[in-house]
Amino acid sequence: MKIGYLRVSTEEQRPDRQIDALTPICDALHVEKLSATAKSRPVYERVINTLNAGDIFVIWDLDRAYRSAKDALNELDRLRERGIEIQIASINIDTSTPHGMLIYTFISGLAEFERRLLSERTKQGLAAARKRGVKLGPPQKMTEAQVRAAIRKISMKEASVAEIAALNGVHPSTVARSIKRLTSNENV
């Protein structure tokens, strides 16, 4: 049997392109909505554990299943020991042939190289943004004015942290973090 595995990194991403490509060539499809860097990938693990000798594990692209060249090559070795091959549908690679094995090995290295370049570019972009004063991350849940008012009310014993949190629609830990952030920035 040809068993297809497809993955998208987030709930917002759509697997439609992979589904459309794999449906005509697979006997079954399994979709996972999870980052490839997640420590556990339950759908992937379930699919791999249910494959039988003679089955072909079909993926659209190598990065949909593996994090690194080492992961891809090690998993292929484990699968081949069980009589299972891998097919990469986007480039029509089948590891049951010598040519397919060569290309699979080469593509594994290229995919890891591409991921590392992307990571490096992302880090450089974030560093450049910070250097220009861009504040990264989600917006603060409390404005500076709200935090200053909270500090005043707490110091005057007019309200507790929990009461200020309820008033501002945030968790008490958010109030505490916001106060700490503001006061540590002023002490710099």
Active site members: 9
On whether the CB atoms of residues 153 and 159 are closer than 8 A, the answer is yes
93 by Cβ neighbours in 10 Å (0-12 / 13-18 / 19+) ranks as buried
Percent helix / strand / coil, the chain, rounded to 5: 55, 10, 30
- Give the tokens for residue 144: 């500076």
Q: Cα–Cα distance between 154 and 168 in angstroms, integer?
A: 14
The DSSP annotation for 74-131 comes to: HHHHHHHHTT-EEEEGGGTEETTSHHHHHHHHHHHHHHHHHHHHHHHHHHHHHHHHHH
In this structure, which amino acid lies at residue 18?
Q
150: which residues sit within 8 A by CB, 6+ positions away?
Answer: 142, 159, 161, 164, 168, 175, 178, 179
